[in-house]
Amino acid sequence: MMEIQHFTFNPFQENTYLLINEKRDCIIIDPGCYFEEERKELLTYIEREGLNVTRLLNTHCHLDHIFGNRLVAKTYGLGLEIHALDKVVLDRQGEIGKMYNVPFEPSPEPSRYLVEGEKVFLGEDELEVLLTPGHSPGSVCFYNAARRFVIGGDVLFYQSIGRTDLPGGDHQTLLNSIREKLFVLPDDVKVYPGHGQPTTIGFEKKHNPFLQ
């Protein structure tokens, strides 16, 4: 049985997710901890709960989703995993951080690249990698069919969608990704987005104004 824990971090109010199984193994997705108290909060939670952090994944590489990459990689001896198409995004985030006046420790380089359709395992639980470009070239979502949830990054939000005005973004590509990769999932699949509250596939099909 997989438990989902989330934290909302940094000036951009980004959602960081921890997926935890019954053996207390844990995957961290998009560690956005920026301020020192946020970094301490994440590490303290992991220590208090006795978690064994096994993988570090990014849905995409915009700065608000990678602030804590180096911390997690160094603390737990992990390699970073992203989709290859987002490497160009990762490479630019240091300079963008300076533009936004939010300098941060540079993310480590990826240790491997995620591939569409591959399975990410946490014990007996599995997540399928869905390539969902548009917000960024290599945005991915992580879908758990057994428990009917998806960790969606900045692709689909409650009654909204990811912005497409950043380098590598494309509005029509994003709409196609949502319709072809997410809206084909069962209506009761819960979507845990990179910002804001969770939603469901069925609700967004009916009520998302960008997709009517």
User: Could you report the per-residue pLDDT of 70-99, keeping only the tens digit for each?
Assistant: 999 999 999 999 999 999 999 999 999 999
Q: How many CA atoms are closer than 13 Å to the CA of 41, on its beta-carbon side?
A: 17
Q: What's the whole-number average pLDDT of the chain? A: 97
Q: CATH class for domain 3-211?
A: alpha beta
Contacts for 150 with CB less than 8 Å, ≥ 6 apart: 130, 141, 142, 143, 144, 182, 185, 189, 190, 191, 192, 201
Q: What is the DSSP letter of 136?
A: S
- Encode 152-208 in three state secondary structure: EECCEECCEECCCCCCCCCHHHHHHHHHHHHCCCCCCCEEEECCCCCEEHHHHHHHC
Give me the helices (H) in the chain, please.
Answer: 36-48, 69-76, 87-99, 171-177, 201-207
Q: What would the pLDDT profile of 142-199 be if each residue is shown by its tens digit? A: 999 999 999 999 999 999 999 999 999 999 999 999 999 999 999 999 999 999 999 9
Q: Is 116 helix (H, G, I), strand (E, B) or coil?
A: coil
Q: What's the confidence (pLDDT) of residue 182?
A: 98
Sign of the torsion angle spanned by Cα atoms 100, 130, 2, 107:
negative
Sign of the torsion angle spanned by Cα atoms 99, 164, 128, 8:
positive
Rounded mean pLDDT, 203-211: 98
Rounded mean pLDDT, 25-46: 98
Q: What's the confidence (pLDDT) of residue 1?
A: 79
Contacts for 60 with CB less than 8 Å, ≥ 6 apart: 82, 83, 86, 89, 135, 136, 138, 139, 140, 153, 154
Q: Is 140 helix (H, G, I), strand (E, B) or coil?
A: strand
CB 61 within 8 A of CB 89: yes
Q: Is 134 helix (H, G, I), strand (E, B) or coil?
A: coil
User: How far is residue 170's CA from residue 127's CA, in Å, rounded to a whole number?
Assistant: 26
Rounded mean pLDDT, 53-81: 98
